[in-house]
Structure 1
Amino acid sequence: MHFTSRAARVLVLAALPLTLAACGSSDDTAAGDTSAKATASSSPSKDPNAGLLTGTQLKKALAPASFFPSGFAVDPSGARDTGDTYIPPSTAPADKPDCTRLGGTAWIEITGITGVSFAQNDYINKNTSEQIAQEIDAYRGTTAETVLKEVEKAAAACESFTDSDTSTKVKVTGRSTPGLGDGAYTITLTNPAWENGTTLIAARVGTNVVSVLSTDGRDNGAATAKKLTERIVASLKKAS
């Protein structure tokens, strides 16, 4: 599907006043407008997505199937990306985070901010029901930094939430995590009703944010989540 960027629509709307003014002006004014438009067209606006990785490029930075432990297989329904096109972003943080989003593979959406491209997939162990998910989102300007700050705010605001499967409380704890990209934050989810907890990590690499989820192992998925994040961060640094 082809998406028209917000920037393109803004440029079209901005050109309308110039067109209307030219229609209702004298010959001299119209000549001046023509000259002004010729000057404006000689310096095209900068592409806001210039230099940002596409979904196709981000997909290549995801960890391959060979990275995942024995018994894990990709879930085809969870594999998607934006291909070679960009999508309109949303840069308005959520007024109040939906804490239940922390329980899903696309948990980074709790910030309310979306990028212009992404790639993601999930791996599941059918024998143990353990899950490992990976995603990379690309953002304009300094928005990736804002996303990481909003992840920290969400963790602070969501001390707990109700697990829909067991109707029990999930405890949420978070901490800044050094040594991963240009900044990282780790969230741990625990619940006495679960056999194992969940670890979520968000790490920034330039204009990209890596987000992973892991329930693998007996350490709330922590070791696998960190190892996966390190792998993706290294791949993104090579791609930049």
Structure 2
Amino acid sequence: MPLTSRFAKTLAVVALPLALAACSSGSTDSSSHTSAASQDKPAKDPNAGLMTGTQLKKALAPASAFPSHLTAVKDGFADSGSEFVSPQSRSTAKPDCSKFENSTWLDVSGYKGGVSFAQGDYANQDQTEEMTQELDAFQGTTATDVMKNVQAAATACAAFTDLDDHSKVELAGRATPGLGDEAYTITVTSGHWESGTTLIAVRVGSTVATVMSSAGSDNGAANAAKLAGNLADSLKAATTS
């Protein structure tokens, strides 16, 4: 019963013995002390259990996980270090379909990134084939929301126009069992391109791994699947160690 209600009841029943009134007063003080004690408890750290950028960097797939003709791109690696950044609110704007053509494409979900991240980029000498990997850690249930929004954006962008050559781009997505806690694979193709690209998003707990591959004659599909599996296994090992 709220403190104000308890006081109102005491004032209304003026005939109550003084001892009973004193008992009521003691109960009120105890409640106040309990409330004060609960306020002194430290707030739960929303980043508790999440990997820092430094830790995510160690979970990235090594060079040996990529085709031998691809090498690390200079300035293609970055991470958020040992500190967490402030979480960003999700954009509710209509999905920008052109972002599916970017090497780092997570922001199709409306989130520009997690509270920590690490990424790496590999390509052949003339950069006609490329593979990228990115890991982002999110607070609470945001990672699940990211996956849901990736799928929604893929559905909304089944067909769109390329901004560079104005060609028609087609996009097909599907849920992919057997990878992490959930995974989604997207194939992006155009009649004006020599080959398409494959994108895969994998969630392991509160971390989302995103992969892009244009390496291979199958729209980069096999290499993308191998890389996504490597990242999923690496994240599982890191979270259970």
TM-score class normalised by the smaller sequence: 0.7 to 0.9
Distance 1:91 1:237 in 2: 27
1:157-172 aligned within 5 A: 157-172=156-171
Q: Provide Cα deviations, 1:110-139, integer angstroms capped at 9, x if missing partner.
A: 111231101001101124610000001001
User: Which amino acid is 2:128 matched to?
Assistant: S
**1:174 aligned to 2:166?**
no
- Code of the residue aligned with 1:74 in structure 2: it is A
Match of 1:53 among 51, 56, 76: 51
Q: Which residue of 1 aligns with 2:86?
A: 88
SS at match of 1:235: helix
Report which stretch shifted further, 63-72 or 157-166: 157-166
Structure 1 position 99 matched with structure 2 position 76: no
- RMSD, matched Cα: 1.8
**1:66 matches 2:64:** yes
| 1:162-198, Cα deviation, whole Å (9 max, x unpaired) | 2233221111111111111001111100111111110
Q: Distance in 2 between matches of 1:129 and 1:188?
A: 17
Which secondary structure state, in structure 2, belongs to the residue aligned with residue 76 of structure 1? coil
Deviates most, 82-91 or 199-208: 82-91
User: Cα distance, 1:46 vs. partner?
Assistant: 0.9
Report the Cα offset of residue 93 of structure 1. 4.4
Matched with 1:184 is 183
Instruction: Provide the C-alpha distance between the structure 2 equivalents of 1:124 and 1:169, rounded to a whole number of angstroms.
Output: 25
Tell me the amino acid that sits aligned with residue 125 of structure 1.
N
Answer with 1 or 2: which has the greater Rg.
2
Letter in 2 for 1:235: S
- Cα distance in structure 1, aligned partners of 2:213 and 2:176: 16
Distance 1:77 1:169 in 2: 31
Percent sequence identity over matched residues?
52
Q: Distance in 2 between matches of 1:76 and 1:183?
A: 32
TM-score, length basis structure 1 = 0.81
- Structural mapping, 1:1-240, within 5 Å: 39=37, 42-113=40-111, 114-127=113-126, 129-240=128-239
Give the whole-Å Cα distance in 2 for the aligned partners of 1:102 and 1:94.
17
Q: Which amino acid aligns with 2:82?
A: D
CA contact (8 A) 1:93 1:150 kept: no
Change (3 A) 1:213 1:130: same
Q: Secondary structure at the residue paired with 1:140?
A: coil
Aligned residues: 206
Q: Deviations over 1:135-161 (max 9, x none)?
A: 010011111111101000000111222
User: 1:152 touches 1:185 (CA, 8 Å); kept in 2?
Assistant: yes
**Quick one: distance in 1 between partners of 2:78 and 2:97?**
24
Q: Is the 8 A contact 1:62 1:134 kept in 2?
A: yes
Using the size of structure 2 for normalisation, the TM-score is 0.81
Give the secondary structure class of the aligned counterpart of 1:180.
coil
How far residue 68 of structure 1 moved from its aligned partner, in angstroms, is 1.2
Instruction: Provide structure 1 residue ranges, at least 5 long, that are not aligned to the other structure.
Output: 1-34
> Counterparts of 1:91 and 1:186 in 2: how far apart (Å)?
25
- Unpaired segments of 5 or more residues in structure 2? 1-32
Aligned-partner residue type, residue 200 of structure 1 = L
